[in-house]
Amino acid sequence: MISNVGGWVVRWENGNHEPIVVRGGGWTIFDTPYELRDTVPVSFVWGDGTLQALDSFDGRTITWTTTNPHFPYIYWDARDDDEV
């Protein structure tokens, strides 16, 4: 489902977006490293303690839910260029 290696564009509901590359289950965004946790569903934790957990995957876009009321949903869109 979530590849250990691959390019994604993180997209927020406000229209902002930022590319990331996942390597070995980890990535850096805005100078902060993150690591996928081996949980069901797959999840990770932000520096402020917010939990971001997998909600669905349609083969191209991952929909995440979070415990942060300002960002209830975050999307990862697979990158076509897959710059790894």
- Find the Cα–Cα–Cα–Cα dihedral 10, 42, 44, 75, rounded to 10°: 20
Q: Which residues of 18-35 are buried (b: 16+ CB within 10 A; e: fewer)?
A: eebbbeebebeeeeeebe
pLDDT-flagged residues of the chain (< 70): 1-4, 82-84
Domain ranges for the chain: 5-78
CA–CA separation, 51 and 43 (whole Å): 7
Q: What is the model's pLDDT at position 76?
A: 97
